[in-house]
Structure 1
Amino acid sequence: MFWVRETGVIPAALSGMMTAAGIKNVEIIAVVTFMAVLLPIVSQANTTAFVARKLGILDESDQEGA
């Protein structure tokens, strides 16, 4: 299971290329792309420790020094 991963690199690049090309209504596409990339990153970052604890794969001794 990959709960945390790199996401959005390709959509962001394509959105940037479309912006540079001057495609009609690209602002809407850019905003939707930004939100589609940002929301999963934020939700995964905030829930990673919880999911790891539930799966029993979090090493609590590593968390003591942090």
Structure 2
Amino acid sequence: MRTIDLQAEIVQLSYLGVEFEDLCGAVRSLTLAPGTESRHQLTSKILAANELVRRTPAAAAPATGHAR
């Protein structure tokens, strides 16, 4: 049976939470106006959000008892 280092898992999930909070702050601080620059700013934030969402199940797997 595989043992889980819960402290390491807590740290990893906490770091992921901080990344989500930072991204939320970055999105809220955007000053947007119609145009290409706004689209570029939003696209980079959407891609960052997608990456965080992609990483979340793998980060939570050990804490829920599922393999990565």
Match for 2:65 among 35, 53, 60?
Answer: 60
Q: Which residue of 2 aligns with 1:40?
A: 48
How many angstroms does 1:59 deviate by? 2.4
Q: 1:36-59 CA distances to partner (integer Å, 9 max, x unpaired)?
A: 110010111011121334xx4x22
Q: Distance in 1 between matches of 2:35 and 2:42?
A: 10
Supply the AA of the counterpart residue of 1:2.
Y
Instruction: Provide the TM-score with structure 1 as the length reference.
Output: 0.53
Q: Distance in 2 between matches of 1:9 and 1:36?
A: 14
Return 5+ residue gaps in structure 2 as ranges: 1-13
Taking only aligned residues, the RMSD between alpha carbons, in angstroms, comes to 2.3
- Structure showing greater radius of gyration is 1
How many angstroms does 1:3 deviate by? 1.6
Q: Distance in 1 between matches of 2:60 and 2:49?
A: 16
Where relative contact order (Cα < 8 A, 6+ residues apart) is larger, the structure is 2
Identity of aligned residues (%): 9
Q: Which residue of 1 aligns with 2:35?
A: 27
Q: Which residue of 1 aligns with 2:15?
A: 2
- What SS does structure 2 have at the residue aligned with 1:2? helix
